Amino acid sequence: MQTKRTTFSGYWLPYALLAPQVIITLIFFIWPAGQALYQSVLRQDIFGLRVTFVGLDNFRRLMEDPLYLNSMQMTLVFAVGTTVLSMALALLFAVMVNNMIRSRDSYSTLLVWPYAVAPAIAGVLWWFIFNPSIGILPYMLDMVGYDWNHRRSGTDAMILVIIAAAWKQISYNFIFFLAGLQSVPQSLIEAAAIDGASRAKRFWTIVFPLLSPITFFLLVVNIVYAMFDTFGIIHATTEGGPAQATNILVYKVYRDGFVGLNLGSSAAQSVILMTIVIALTVIQFRYIERRVNY
């Protein structure tokens, strides 16, 4: 790792400057992560009196637990649904905004602000809109003969949380897609237009391939968002229900740890989640090194 060509000298000063961040990291990040690893191989009896070493038994049990496997499956559906929905809409809007000349800034402003809305608040808003008795959308769905009820139907509940999560994420994706579109060289598009390529053809053969690094980056970021940052949406609305239909992995760690008080299992789930985050981070960083190829 590089530094400056010339550096200051000092024996204790650099350590003193690093100390606050390193101390906080050790106390609140590294130590708890170590604790999670340690607890994941232990099991406590229900009164917390006896702790036994059980090796990888907690993990084995999780892998055999139908509730956990269900939760994994739900997380997958949720992450894919949220990512696809928010990225597709954001790309559509970004392409349209990029076509505009005078109104570009006003449309951008109107589209970026939901970034500031907390996931929990986004959840409550859509929960209100979809409220089976007074919500406006169930009322409209009722007119076309669909009986919306996210308190009974797992599918409805899943659709509700996907919409809430995707709604909040559109603005983030939009900002990145727009930045990407603005860096596509105009000369390429003009050359293709002179050769007679239509708008759609120009988009799919020139613009979209040039956007692929950003698309890939957003893909990873959105999956991370859907898996870990959406706790608020689930907790403030469906609370994992009905019948486990929206019990995604982060929510389950919390529930098993704080409500179920099953510390060994919760720790093992934490370890699995950390592995997933680390894998996603590594993928993201490897890609960043390669993206200069374009």
Partner 1 sequence: MVENRPLGNLLSHVVLIFGVALVVFPIYVAIIASPHPPGTFLRGVMPLLPGPNALENYRTAWTEGRSRAGTPPISLMLTNSLIMALAITIGKLAISIISAFAIVYFRFPFRIFFFWIIFLTLMLPVEVRIVPTFQVVADLGMLNSYAGLSIPLIASATATFLVRQFFMTVPEELMEAARVDGAGPMKFFRDILLPLSITNIAALFVIMFIYGWNQYLWPLLITTDPEYYTIVMGIQRMVTGGDSEPLWHLVMATVVMAALPPVLVILFMQRLFVKGLTETEK
Is the backbone peptide bond immediately before 242 cis, with ω within 30 degrees of 0?
Answer: yes
Exactly one of 81, 167, 173, 223 binds partner 1 (CB under 8 A); that residue is 167
H/E element holding 53? Answer: strand 51-53
Q: Which of residues 213-232 bind partner 1 (CB under 8 A)?
A: 217, 221, 228-229, 231-232
Stretch that binds partner 1, among 49-57, 154-162, 203-211, 249-257 (CB under 8 A): 249-257
Member of 76, 129, 159, 184 binding partner 1 (CB under 8 A): 129
294/53 Cα distance (integer angstroms): 52
Stretch that binds partner 1, among 42-50, 78-86, 103-111, 204-212 (CB under 8 A): 103-111
Q: Give, as ranges, the residues between 194 and 213 that touch partner 1 (CB under 8 A).
A: 199
Out of 157, 172, 222, 252, the only residue in the binding site for partner 1 (CB under 8 A) is 172
SS3 43: strand
User: Does residue 288 touch partner 1 according to CB under 8 A?
Assistant: yes
Q: Of 128, 147, 151, 204, which one interacts with partner 1 (CB under 8 A)?
A: 128
- Which of 54/120 has CB closer to partner 1? 120
Residue 264 · residue 58 · CB < 8 Å: yes
Q: Which lies closer to partner 1 via its Cβ, residue 126 or residue 245? A: 126
Least Cβ distance, residue 125 to partner 1 (angstroms): 4
List 157, 165, 245, 250, residue binding partner 1 (CB under 8 A): 250
The CA distances from residue 109 to 88, 94, 112, 141, 234, in Å, are: 19, 12, 6, 31, 28
Which of 65, 73, 274, 290: binder of partner 1 (CB under 8 A)? 274
CB of 63 to partner 1, least distance (A): 18
| Token pair 């727009």: residue | 178
Q: Is residue 260 close enough to count as binding partner 1 by CB under 8 A?
A: no
Q: Which of residues 33-92 bind partner 1 (CB under 8 A)?
A: 33, 35-36, 39, 89, 92
CA–CA distance from 179 to each of 47, 87, 106, 175, 212 (Å)?
56, 14, 16, 6, 13
The span from the CA of 228 to the CA of 119, in Å, is: 11
**Can you tell me whether residue 42 is helix, strand or coil?**
strand
Tokens describing residue 117: 């809305």
- In the complex, the smallest distance separating the C-beta of residue 276 from partner 1, rounded to whole angstroms, is 8
Q: What is the smallest separation between the CB atom of 256 and partner 1, expressed in angstroms?
A: 9
Minimum CB distance to partner 1, residue 118 (Å): 4
Instruction: Tell me how far apart the alpha carbons of residues 217 and 87 are, in angstroms, rounded to a whole number.
Output: 11
User: Does 188 engage in binding with partner 1 (CB under 8 A)?
Assistant: no
- The Cα–Cα gap between 72 and 252 comes to 10
Rounded distance between C-alpha atoms, residue 170 and residue 190, angstroms? 29
**CA 246 to chain CA mean position, Å:** 15
